[in-house]
Structure 1
């Protein structure tokens, strides 16, 4: 009898041990399933930032980039796009690894040169209204011009505090369209020391029309700029023929759940067109707090979707707060 009781006890103990192990394993698996990255794929432009997060764990996370030259990542998971290419950002928590595939896209300032060969099959009839051009404060900046036409292209500069971008507000005061113009800039600090040089091109601006151009400078440079010590040089090109086809494109936009700007581009023209898009973010007072720029070549009849990521605050590594935004689109094509 005692022997029978012992055997029964051993069997019960074994069952409990096996059950405990199974429950433990199931619990660990369930916990493992809960751990995930907030993004597993990420498309970015050069200089953009995005904060990755490993959700569902309290363990210390180690972040690494497969190609630091393409995109780097900080100890807090903030990814910064550096050059065009693809890489993988890995988050390691304990023995587990989680991967986000990052694609850094072609520089937005690149201009397409291809010519179309086909015609679109469909044409939407509703055209969106273009955002009105804001009236900027006059800037005390010296401007040089290479030609009489260039001298009638008035450019005012807006510096956005704590932003990587500046805004060029351009007006064509000529009595004829200008096919192509270039803004060469030399920004200096209050002591007259050169901070940043570069250039920005504009295309197919009509007589009396205005364009908003957003240019990447870098926050560390932009914060030092003194417009009174800086200088612009405006030039134009008459031997090229770009024409405005903004009215032949349907472009719509909306704010996403993450606060980014989703844009849909439709080319209704019979030829391939280039579309330049400048996005300016504003606070409640109506002052610019951030900006973005994107450009694309779109074949006839084609539709493209894009999400423009809102800038990040350097101090908090969170997206900046804004109350409203405006999207300035300009479509043009080369006509031989």
Structure 2
């Protein structure tokens, strides 16, 4: 009996448990943990700032059926999407209502920090333009030139500039009082359109520095001149003597008599005068200048006198001091100076004397011939000489004055077989000039023999481009201790009459 009751009760319990397990749904612990909350419960914003609130269920965003509200719209507002905008300083509560439940966020609005204004930078003062030299370094060959100028804001400074130049390398000492040879010359033109410009002319191999001084400041340009004529390596001088027979007739007066004073002077020099005929055998000095390269600048011309200086010494107190080879350098220098002449095809004649070429030629002949006492006469003579050289250059080209060198003649366009000048000293001397003192004659005639020379031993070396000998007088200056070509004798070399017709040969 008891056993049956027990079984009946157990069956009933099992039936109840089965019913409960079928009818009661299982509760998920994960769903129970997904609370709904705002993304922020407190916010601090500056006036003008904005921030969005988000209502979340767990990690999921709730975006629908939310009502947003601000407790103080003057302080902060919120739109339907949860974006808060701070309006003015104060506090407000933002409420989100969802399924009848409210979620709040306290908002504090602070005054906006005033942005520190970016300071406006002070305008950079415009630097005043400074003077500039047109070139700070130049390289030249002897005879070439460059133009320098000092500019301010692109314009040439035409007044107030002082130019100077000095060697920065060693050069040989020039003849007597000439000082050191100059690497470059600095010249300023007097032409209006050249005002303020400095012409730098390459003269002798080496370096120099040009300085422009303006308003208390200096501006420099370094100058390098390539090696050109070197008197030690490009010239060889050979000396000798030859005997010349003098035979000529003196001019006579209306009665057929020569000037007694002239007769006495010739007899003093050992000549035999019979009537008007003059004869004499005379030993004359001869010099051969053999060039491998010709000098073509003023300073290179000066160097000819350095090499020959040892032969220039004149003992003024000895009437007969033996052979004297002085004075040949003056003739050689005149010939080289004439060969240095060039005439640009487009040059305007009035401007030549105020151009680098004109300055160089004028200074060459002034150095060789000595300064003139009367500038007007000097200018007239130089102008005449330049006209002659221009005519030779235009009619015969750059070979025009090579007529004085060995082998040059009109049939080969005056092209020398070698750059050798043969010269001989005249068989008689000229009376001492006013500037010369002493008992020994110090003024001579130096000849370049033409093909008609009567110096038979020189015929093989005579110039074939002209007939009669060309000469200049040379005078020794005791003041300068050097020889000069006397007065305007250089014009015998520059004369425009070199061409000799073939039929007259």
**TM-score > 0.5 by shorter chain:** no
Higher helix share: 2
Q: Say which structure, 1 or 2, has more relative contact order (CA 8 Å, 6+ apart).
A: 1
TM-score where L is the length of structure 2 = 0.20
